[in-house]
Amino acid sequence: KPSDAFARPGGSWIGQRLLRREDPRLLTGQGRYVDDLAPEGCLHLVFVRAEEAHARLLEVETQAARAAPGVVAVFTAGDLHLQGHAAVNLLVEDVTPVPLEVLAQGTVRALGQPVAAVVAMSRDAARDAAELVSMTLAPLPIPQGEDRPVVMRAAWTGGDVDAAFAAAAATVSVTCRHALVAPFPMEPRAALADGRGDTLTAWFSTQTPHRAREDLARILGRSLGTIRVIAPDVGGAFGGKASIYPEDVMVAWAAARLRAPVKWCATRSEDLLSATQGRGAVNRAELALSADGILTGLRARLDYPQGAWMPYSAVVPARNAGRILPGPYLLETVDIAARGLQDHRAAVGIYRGAGRPEAAMLMERLMDEAARALALDPLELRRRNIIPPARFPHRSATGETLDSADLAGLLDTLERETGYPALKAQVSARRAAGEAVGLGLSLYVEPCGQGWESATLGLMPDGSFTATTGSSAQGQGRETAISQIVAETLGVDAGAVTVLHGDTETTPNGTGALASRSTAIGGSAMLRAARALGAQVRAAAARALGVPEAAVTLGPDGVSAPGARLGWEAFAARLPAPAAPLPGGAVLHVSETYTAAGEAWSSGACLAVVRIDADTGVPAVERLAWVDDAGVVLNPMLVQGQLEGGMAQGLGEALMEGLVYDGEGQLLTGSLMDYALPRAADVPAVALFKQETPAPNPIGAKGVGEAGCIGIPAALFNAVRDALGPDRGRDLQMPLTPERLWRALAEEPAP
| Residue 238 beta carbon to ligand SMO: minimum distance, rounded to whole angstroms | 6
C-alpha distance from residue 111 to each of 23, 108, 662 (Å): 38, 8, 12
Q: How far apart are CA 437 and CA 429, in angstroms?
A: 10
Ramachandran region of residue 15, left (φ > 0), alpha (ψ -120 to 50) or beta?
left
For position 351 contacting ligand SMO by CB under 6 A, the verdict is: yes
384 burial (CB, 10 Å; 0-12 / 13-18 / 19+) is: middle
For position 350 contacting ligand SMO by CB under 6 A, the verdict is: yes
Tell me the site size for ligand SMO, rule CB under 6 A: 9
Q: Which helix (DSSP H) or strand (DSSP E) does residue 373 occupy?
A: helix 356-374
* Chosen residue from 54, 352, 424, 611 binding ligand SMO by CB under 6 A: 352
| Residue 241 beta carbon to ligand SMO: minimum distance, rounded to whole angstroms | 10
Closest to ligand SMO by CB, 236 or 619:
236
- Contact between 612 and 674 (Cβ < 8 Å): no
Q: How far apart are CA 342 and CA 340, in angstroms?
A: 7
| Stretch of 87-95, 211-219, 345-353, 649-657 lying at the interface with ligand SMO (CB under 6 A) | 345-353
Give residue 24's identity as a one-letter amino acid code. Answer: P
Rg of the chain over all Cα atoms, to the nearest angstrom: 27
Question: Which of 602, 688, 720 has the alpha carbon at shortest distance from 361?
Answer: 720
| Residue 449 beta carbon to ligand SMO: minimum distance, rounded to whole angstroms | 7
Closest to ligand SMO by CB, 237 or 496:
237
Q: How far apart are CA 279 and CA 181, in angstroms?
A: 6
Q: How far apart are CA 204 and CA 531, in angstroms?
A: 33
Closest to ligand SMO by CB, 176 or 515:
515
| Residue 323 beta carbon to ligand SMO: minimum distance, rounded to whole angstroms | 12
> Which residues 221-250 are close enough to bind ligand SMO by CB under 6 A?
239, 242
| Residue 377 beta carbon to ligand SMO: minimum distance, rounded to whole angstroms | 33
Closest to ligand SMO by CB, 304 or 351:
351
Question: Which of 77, 86, 70, 61 has the alpha carbon at shortest distance from 114?
Answer: 77
| Stretch of 220-228, 347-355, 491-499, 730-738 lying at the interface with ligand SMO (CB under 6 A) | 347-355
| Stretch of 59-67, 348-356, 357-365, 651-659 lying at the interface with ligand SMO (CB under 6 A) | 348-356
Q: How many CA atoms lie within 13 A of 623 on its CB side?
A: 18
Residues 6+ apart with CB under 8 A from 582: 458, 588, 589
Give residue 631's identity as a one-letter amino acid code. Answer: G
Q: How far apart are CA 592 and CA 485, in angstroms?
A: 14
Question: Which of 192, 73, 79, 81 has the alpha carbon at shortest distance from 130?
Answer: 73
Closest to ligand SMO by CB, 228 or 319:
319
| Stretch of 184-192, 351-359, 627-635, 663-671 lying at the interface with ligand SMO (CB under 6 A) | 351-359
> Which residues 475-514 are close enough to bind ligand SMO by CB under 6 A?
514
For position 630 contacting ligand SMO by CB under 6 A, the verdict is: no
| Residue 514 beta carbon to ligand SMO: minimum distance, rounded to whole angstroms | 3
| Residue 741 beta carbon to ligand SMO: minimum distance, rounded to whole angstroms | 28
For position 607 contacting ligand SMO by CB under 6 A, the verdict is: no
| Residue 298 beta carbon to ligand SMO: minimum distance, rounded to whole angstroms | 23
Residue showing the smallest CB distance to ligand SMO in the complex = 239
| Residue 359 beta carbon to ligand SMO: minimum distance, rounded to whole angstroms | 12
- Contact between 403 and 600 (Cβ < 8 Å): yes
> Which residues 35-54 are close enough to bind ligand SMO by CB under 6 A?
none
Q: How many residues does the chain have?
A: 751
**654-693 footprint of ligand SMO as x/- string (CB under 6 A):** ----------------------------------------
| Residue 453 beta carbon to ligand SMO: minimum distance, rounded to whole angstroms | 14
41 burial (CB, 10 Å; 0-12 / 13-18 / 19+) is: exposed
Closest to ligand SMO by CB, 243 or 342:
243
* Chosen residue from 586, 706, 707, 708 binding ligand SMO by CB under 6 A: 706
* Full DSSP string of 676-704: ----GGGSPP-EEEEE----SSTT-B---
| Residue 516 beta carbon to ligand SMO: minimum distance, rounded to whole angstroms | 6
| Residue 68 beta carbon to ligand SMO: minimum distance, rounded to whole angstroms | 40
Closest to ligand SMO by CB, 401 or 428:
401
CA angle 323, 324, 330 (to 5 degrees): 115
For position 304 contacting ligand SMO by CB under 6 A, the verdict is: no
Closest to ligand SMO by CB, 354 or 686:
354
Q: How far apart are CA 551 and CA 545, in angstroms?
A: 10
Q: How far apart are CA 262 and CA 121, in angstroms?
A: 10
For position 319 contacting ligand SMO by CB under 6 A, the verdict is: no
| Stretch of 128-136, 192-200, 346-354, 684-692 lying at the interface with ligand SMO (CB under 6 A) | 346-354
- Contact between 709 and 352 (Cβ < 8 Å): yes
| Residue 705 beta carbon to ligand SMO: minimum distance, rounded to whole angstroms | 8
* Chosen residue from 172, 354, 485, 582 binding ligand SMO by CB under 6 A: 354
For position 515 contacting ligand SMO by CB under 6 A, the verdict is: yes
| Residue 706 beta carbon to ligand SMO: minimum distance, rounded to whole angstroms | 6
Closest to ligand SMO by CB, 286 or 446:
446
Q: Within 226-336, where are the H helices?
A: 246-258, 268-274, 316-323
| Residue 414 beta carbon to ligand SMO: minimum distance, rounded to whole angstroms | 25
- Contact between 310 and 98 (Cβ < 8 Å): yes
Extended strands (E) in 290-415: 295-307, 334-342, 394-395, 401-402
Given the rule CB under 6 A, which residues bind ligand SMO?
A: 239, 242, 350-352, 354, 514-515, 706
